Amino acid sequence: MKVSILQFPGTNCEYDTKYAFEKLGAQTQIVWHKATTIPEDTSLLVVAGGFSYGDYLRSGAIAKFSPVMQAVKEYAAKGGKILGICNGFQVLTEAGLLPGALKRNESLHFLSKHHHLKVENNDNVFLTKLAKGDVVNIPIAHHDGNYYIDEAGLAELYANNQVLLKYCDASGAMKNPNGSVDAIAGVCNKEKTVFGLMPHPERAMETLLGSDDGVKMLQGFLEA
């Protein structure tokens, strides 16, 4: 399997992502934002976390104009699988590839810690290795992770099983760290080919570092 990982000025999680997927047995390639094509043998395209363009204007707002994003949209239109992590999620919402938007955290503070997530829907390639209702412990690190969508959009997300993950405590009860609507931590598109989440599964690959719950999250892509 080939995983291509986008790199913008300010991206800082591309090598964590590279390590995570190589640990699972995938081949990886980092793709600079000035590229005009996605490698032909790409099985999964990852928009990695960080601070693309320094998060000027809004997180992900400038990255959506990078040359590579036209190729990303074409790749998505052909049914290619895309995963946006943290800033990558922000980029995908700004580019219109995922519904909703990411706002400043309700506390106005940057959050960096492990946080539990509850699996809301696993009828997709991303979370197929987990069961609905499972609770995982995954790091978060964001200033603009407050997911927003209007009432009509939220109803549509639920109708199509597009809500993937919600913030919770260790027992699965809702625990919202940033003010996100309905404590939503991750969503997908209607076709279940484009996925986005604020937490960092690529940083949860080793028990020594606090959790290896990210392994099952990312394995689904390799076994599709």
Tell me the catalytic residues: 86, 200, 202
Q: Sign of dihedral through CA atoms 150, 49, 65, 192? A: negative
Contact call for residues 210 and 116 (beta carbons, < 8 A): no
Strand 44-47 and strand 81-85: the pairing is parallel
Q: Is 10 left (phi over 0), alpha (psi -120 to 50) or beta?
A: left
Q: What are phi and psi of 96, to 5 degrees?
A: 80, 15
Compute the distance between CA of residue 74 and CA of residue 51 in angstroms, rounded to an integer: 24
H or E segment to which residue 32 belongs:
strand 27-32
Compute the distance between CA of residue 74 and CA of residue 48 in angstroms, rounded to an integer: 19
